[in-house]
Amino acid sequence: MIDYEIVDMFTGTPFEGCALGVVPDASALDDAGMQAVAREVGLTETAFVLPPGTVAATHRVRVFTPQRESPYGGHSAVGTAATLVRLGRLRAGELVQECGGRLMTVRASAHRATLAVRGEPAPPAAWDAEPLLEACGLTGDDLVAEPCVTGFGPAFHVLPVASGAVARAVHQAAHPVWDDCPDAVVVAYDSRRQRADVRVFAPGYGMPEDPACASAALGLGAWLVRAGLVPVVDGTSAYQVRQGAVLGRPARLDCAVTVRGGRAVAAEVTGEVAATGAGRMHLPRTAAVAR
């Protein structure tokens, strides 16, 4: 038998935000077993916790969608870290998650965690945004700034639009642009409130629409600096991301981006984590058990 948890990230209210499965001890499962459990849990992502492979990490995580393994682990780091602290498996404070050969710093308590990233964001890339706008049910008239491809880690396609266009956006699943473009981040930014209203369509990551995406929220920090929407003097600027309301799963992501020499060099995203459910599951009979 294995234990598993279900938590909702970036909300303090169960059944809102982004649901995540967490297997706190996956040492009894091999690759096929993890994939089978992820299919059975049936959430967008399930995080499987393993002993760290390096002394620099406090825990190692492998993340599976119902279809395949995800190489990143950033999106789920907040919910995984808070769950491990709540269950008493790790102490509250600064943790280091190992996933896909990368180390991620997470500050966690039992019901809240902050994921921090450092380094240069993805360099800007030239691209034609018109097909992606069409795939989101929008047009060039909805744009209020130049589209951008950027992010810390995975690079996201950012479509800055007027506030009314966010609610009108829709994922046109049959559009051929999704064959080559994995995502679209439709964002309306209010500089006065330092708040971004966001929709994230990510069919390339197995999510037609994501109710809360930490990686995209971090990438928006790099976009805000490039677009001049936060001060480009050295220092740290806070911004907030609101997401998921259209799906009935409102989420709040509290973010900050740090600028040095006029460039984004670090970002962080903080969210509450609500425990929603827990259970036990038989080991998959169709998969070999790890030895």
Main-chain phi, psi angles of 268, to 5 degrees: -145, 155
What is the residue-wise DSSP string for the chain?
-EEEEEEEES-SSTTSSEEEEEES--TTB-HHHHHHHHHHH-SS-EEEEE--SSTT-SEEEEEE-SSSEES--HHHHHHHHHHHHHTTSS-SEEEEEEETTEEEEEEE-SSEEEEEEESPPPPP-----HHHHHHTT--GGGBSS--EEE-SSS-EEEEEB-HHHHHH----TT-GGGGT---EEEEEEETTTTEEEEEEEEGGGTEEEES--HHHHHHHHHHHHHTTSS--SSEEEEEEEEE-GGGT--EEEEEEEEEETTEEEEEEEEEEEEEEEEEEEPPPTTSPBP-
Q: What is the mean pLDDT of residues 20-35?
A: 96
Of 250, 178, 187, nearest in space to 208 by CA: 178
Looking at residue 131, what is its pLDDT?
96
289 has a pLDDT exceeding 60: no
Q: What percent of the chain has pLDDT over 90?
A: 83
* Dist. CA 267–CA 220, nearest whole Å: 9
116 has a pLDDT exceeding 70: yes
Q: For residues 127 and 209, which has the higher predicted lDDT (pLDDT)?
A: 209
Which residue ranges form the domains of the chain, and what is each CATH number?
Answer: 2-115+273-281 (3.10.310.10), 130-270 (3.10.310.10)
**Tens digit of each residue's pLDDT (9 = 90 or more) over 223-234:** 999 999 998 889
199 has a pLDDT exceeding 80: yes
Tokens of 169: 């956006």
Q: What is the mean pLDDT of residues 153-171?
A: 94
* Dist. CA 147–CA 152, nearest whole Å: 17
5 is catalytic: no
Task: Tell me what the pLDDT averaged over the chain comes to.
Answer: 93
Looking at residue 286, what is its pLDDT?
57
Q: What percent of the chain has pLDDT over 70?
A: 97
pTM, to two decimals = 0.92
Looking at residue 283, what is its pLDDT?
84
Of 154, 28, 18, 38, nearest in space to 82 by CA: 18
119 has a pLDDT exceeding 50: yes
Confidence of residue 287 (pLDDT cuts 50, 70, 90): low
Q: What is the mean pLDDT of residues 58-72?
A: 91
Looking at residue 100, what is its pLDDT?
87
291 has a pLDDT exceeding 50: no
Angle between helices 214-226 and 74-86 (to 10 degrees): 130
Q: Which among 5, 16, 45, 268 is annotated as catalytic? A: 45
Question: Which of 5-14, 99-108, 117-126, 256-265 has the lowest average pLDDT?
Answer: 117-126
Confidence of residue 288 (pLDDT cuts 50, 70, 90): low
**Tens digit of each residue's pLDDT (9 = 90 or more) over 232-243:** 889 999 999 999
Burial tier of 6 (Cβ tally within 10 Å: 0-12, 13-18, 19+): buried
- Residue type (1 letter), 41: V
**Tens digit of each residue's pLDDT (9 = 90 or more) over 73-105:** 788 999 999 999 999 999 999 999 999 888 999
* Dist. CA 38–CA 36, nearest whole Å: 5
- Residue type (1 letter), 288: A
